[in-house]
């Protein structure tokens, strides 16, 4: 009888661990009985029965199914459905930009072509202006900005669940070991 109870407890625990491990691989979870979505690590989400557990890939998916954010863990609202509330607006982050350098002058464009001229005896000497050998300032191409791609959030696995599983395995091992000693 004891062994049957121990086996039953092991199976029950492993089933609940599997359901919560599966839920932790999604961004958000909810219950079929409520209209609230949570982070998988939320204390309210841990009380959801495995048969009522619903998973969502993102907040938009949860809102599309008629769920609202949890007031305990405060998951984000999707960007398209945000309404003016008391939450502070996000501050704009500087975006990295790529500057394209202006073309540098080459030797052929910086110096004029040499020409041979013969002096005109009737012309008066006038000062001549030579083209400058330094490059003239040029305008650079317009700056191109690159917006950073959003980084996907990695869901956290509830550490409490791992600790509970280790404790349960240790208790079961002690019970089995004690039973073997009594049989001998």
pLDDT digit string, tens, across residues 99-121? 555 555 555 555 555 556 555 55
> Between 27 and 10, whose confidence is greater?
27
Q: For residue 71, what are its two tokens? A: 């007031």
pLDDT band at 23; cut points 50, 70, 90 = very low
Topology of domain 25-79, per CATH? DNA Methylphosphotriester Repair Domain (3.40.10)
Tell me the C-alpha to C-alpha distance, in Å, between residue 62 and each of 5, 20, 37, 68, 113: 39, 18, 7, 7, 72
Q: For residue 59, what are its two tokens? A: 């907040």
Q: For residue 109, what are its two tokens? A: 């464009």
Distance between start and end Cα atoms, the chain: 18
Lowest mean per-residue pLDDT among 36-40, 95-99, 155-159: 95-99
Separation CA 78–CA 176 (nearest Å): 50
> Between 48 and 130, whose confidence is greater?
48
Separation CA 155–CA 59 (nearest Å): 13
> Between 79 and 17, whose confidence is greater?
79
Predicted pLDDT at 82:
46
Nearest alpha-carbon partner for 155 in 19, 20, 18, 24: 24
Q: Are the C-beta atoms of 12 and 19 separated by less than 8 Å?
A: no
Alpha-carbon dihedral angle through residues 167, 168, 171, 172, given to the nearest 10 degrees:
-150
Distance of CA 72 to the CA centre of its chain: 22
> Between 184 and 167, whose confidence is greater?
167
How does DSSP classify residue 140? Answer: P
Lowest mean per-residue pLDDT among 1-15, 21-35, 66-80, 145-159: 145-159
> Between 152 and 76, whose confidence is greater?
76
Q: Are the C-beta atoms of 135 and 110 separated by less than 8 Å?
A: yes
Per-domain boundaries in the chain: 25-79
């Amino acid at each position: 009888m004891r062994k049957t109870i121990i086996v039953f407890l092991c199976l029950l625990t492993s089933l609940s661990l599997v359901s919560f491990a599966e839920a932790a691989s999604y961004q958000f979870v909810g219950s079929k009985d409520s209209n609230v979505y949570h982070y998988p690590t939320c204390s309210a989400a841990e009380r959801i029965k495995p048969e009522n557990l619903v998973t969502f890939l993102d907040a938009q998916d949860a809102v599309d199914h008629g769920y609202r954010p949890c007031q305990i863990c405060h998951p984000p609202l999707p960007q398209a459905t945000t309404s003016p509330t008391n939450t502070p607006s996000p501050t704009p982050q500087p975006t990295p930009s790529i500057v394209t350098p202006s073309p540098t002058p080459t030797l052929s464009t910086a110096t004029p072509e040499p020409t041979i001229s013969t002096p005109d005896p009737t012309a008066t000497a006038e000062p001549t202006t030579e083209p400058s050998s330094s490059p003239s300032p040029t305008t650079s191409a317009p700056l191109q900005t690159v917006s950073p791609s959003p980084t996907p959030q990695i869901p956290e696995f509830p550490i409490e669940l791992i600790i509970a599983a280790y404790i349960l395995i240790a208790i079961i091992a002690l019970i089995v070991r004690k039973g073997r000693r009594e049989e001998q």
